[in-house]
Chains A and B, each alone.
Chain A
Amino acid sequence: MSDATPTLPLARGGVSVERSSFSPIYTLVGTLIIAVFFTAAPWILPASWVSILSNFFILVIMATMWNLLAGYAGMVSIGQQGFVGLGAYAMLYFAIKGMNPFVAIPFAIVTCAILAYPITYLLFRLRGGYFAVATWVVADSAMLIILSIALLGGGTGRYLPGLSNLSPSQLNHYTYLATWVVAFVVVVATYFILRSRLGLVLSSMRDNETAARSAGAKVTSTRRLIYVIAAAGCGAAGAVLAISQPFVQPGNAFNLNWAAEMLFVSMIGGLGTIEGPILGCVIYFVLQQSLQNYGAWYLIIFGTVAVIIAIWQPRGLWGAIRDRFHFELLPVGYRVRDKVRVKKVKKQKRSETPPASVVTTSE
């Protein structure tokens, strides 16, 4: 075999590429301010707000993971509640075995990742709607298996042990901090995944899988990796959910509503952006808190909001903001900024263009 390397002589010159329209220092400072505020929140905000924020961060974790899976990698799943449930039950199992629930969080996450890996070999045989339905089947199968395990409380569920030494106030604070830290790690990790080489692969395979393969992208292994990461993230949400309840019950842990909420907030906020699902979570919680006294009406209003946004802003609210103001808080794309060079090419092109009369004649 020849050792010759591909040597297509392409013109080389300076090109400057930017990843953000503003200095990374602003991103860092903004992140630090947010981090300090939310870490101090239990000591600043009323207990009821802290509890709401815990639930908010659990939904942020789920929505961010669903967005990574569907919005970036193009794998629309309606079965991520399966990993929320498995995360909650992994947490319960480790707690029963004597582990501190807060220490058990990473173990629950790893358990979900390990369980997700072999499932990909089954799911990745399917595409589109079939894939989506199969994820639901996997979630329901996982619940049925959990129901049959007496140690985990079967169909009735079981209290999470290991938290009785904490006062209600301490439990509220610690639960909040756990959800906040996990949400922060999940969002930051997602940002770095999308800023890495993997980010372009994800977007390309969402847009056109065949062309992505032909351009050298390892689509199947990337899909597998993202599915496992999303499962681990949803497992993390399930683990902190178990602590926040803290009664772990199959009907709640594996509830299809989790998938509906992930989808809802991602859709109204904006699929395919990191900021979108977070904005969606804010809107969801504001609506929920504002409309909680109106019974079933709040569901009708949620549905109406979703339909309106799907019709008039299919890219979601953050997508609309981004398109209107060309602004991103967490930019992950690439932009050529060598204006001088672009102008030079334009000028060269113009000089090569035939006279207008020639063009008119040939047309």
Chain B
Amino acid sequence: MPLLQLEGVSKRFGRVVVADEITFQLEEGTSTGVVGPNGAGKTSLFGIISGDTKQDDGSVHFDGRSLGSLTAPARCRLGVGRTYQIPQPFEHMTVFENALLAAQQGAREHGHESYELAYASLERSGLAELANSPAGSLGLLQRKRLELARALATKPRLLLLDEIAGGLTDLEVVELTSVIRELQQDGLTILWIEHVVRALLSTVDRLLCLANGEIVADGEPRQVLASEAVRRVYLGGAIINEPTAI
């Protein structure tokens, strides 16, 4: 049974279609990348899976259970962890308290177990030494790490990473990617939206390309990137038809 299954999921905001009968499934322990131009519906797709956005049509199943009527906290407690494209730390809380909230509420750990889980998620994300710092004082890389730590502290079975490498320097991307690769090797199921394609290619074993709310390509990452559909999405039909013009 797939861990995540989307069947004919559609969502529109007024005239803008952000998801158009999207159907795909993820097996447990796999890592999948999502690419697509701005406005393709990638973040909306994450919102639909995590419960931040309600779909108009279609169904989302997690581990065989329909997520349709479940709120975002309920989905998190089932094992859907997510990060945000723009980091959303709890700025007036410490780094440790940020992770602790996720351990206590998302993973439903109590007492010392919750402390252990929160601290371990900070260690895993490379933030342990900043445990007592106010989250509002963190720089961009550290905020991205905190997003990851908070998601990990919920004990996710499915981790949704939304452009976690965006805005980072090359060195920072390498650091963060190595952390994500470790998580992948530990068997965590990952769905990762990213514009930094080389970060994706070093990690994922499947790639989806979204455009105008539709999946236009799905398969082995390098084959997907080389496909005409993806080139058309990124480069435009005219250029594809006249390659000499490049």
Contacts and interface: CB of A to CB of B under 8 A. Distances in A.
B63 A2 contact: yes
A218 B120 contact: no
B156 A349 contact: no
A207 B72 CA distance: 17
Contacts of A266: none
Interface stretch (A46-54, A122-130, A169-177, A195-203): A195-203
Contacts, number: 147
A15 B116 contact: yes
30 contacts: A2-B1, A2-B64, A6-B107, A8-B152, A8-B183, A8-B186, A10-B120, A10-B121, A11-B123, A12-B120, A197-B105, A204-B93, A207-B90, A210-B88, A211-B84, A213-B52, A213-B73, A214-B50, A214-B52, A214-B72, A214-B84, A215-B76, A215-B154, A216-B107, A216-B108, A216-B154, A219-B73, A272-B92, A334-B94, A349-B126
Interface of B: 1, 50-52, 63-65, 71-73, 76-77, 79, 82, 84, 88-94, 96-98, 100-102, 104-108, 110, 115-117, 119-121, 123-124, 126, 128-129, 131-132, 150, 152-157, 169-171, 183, 186-188
Contacts of A219: 73
Interface string A8-46: 111111010100000000000000000000000000000
B120 A217 contact: no
A353 to B, nearest CB: 10
A167 interface: no
Given A204-B101, A333-B93, 14 more contacts: A1-B65, A8-B156, A210-B52, A211-B90, A214-B72, A215-B150, A215-B153, A216-B76, A216-B107, A217-B101, A334-B100, A336-B96, A336-B119, A359-B171
Interface residues of A, number: 44
Interface of A: 1-2, 4, 6-13, 15, 17, 197, 200-201, 203-204, 206-208, 210-219, 272, 333-336, 341-342, 345-346, 349, 359, 362-363
A216 B52 contact: no
B121 to A, nearest CB: 6
B90 A197 contact: no
A345 B129 contact: yes
A201 B94 contact: no
A200 B109 CA distance: 14
Contacts of A349: 126, 129
A16 to B, nearest CB: 8
A217 B98 CA distance: 12
Given A1-B64, A217-B101, A203 B92 contact: yes
A217 B71 CA distance: 10
Which of B50, B104, B108, B169 neighbours the largest number of chain A CB atoms within 10 Å of its CB?
Answer: B104
A10 B129 CA distance: 17
A210 B72 CA distance: 9
B92 A6 contact: no
Contacts of B152: 8, 10
A17 to B, nearest CB: 5
Nearest to A207: B90
Contact of A362 (B50, B97, B132, B171): B171
Contacts of A204: 90, 93, 98, 101
Report the 7 A-B pairs with minimum CB-CB distance, sorted nearest first: A216-B106, A216-B105, A211-B88, A10-B120, A207-B90, A216-B76, A213-B72
A204 B117 CA distance: 18
Contacts of B121: 10
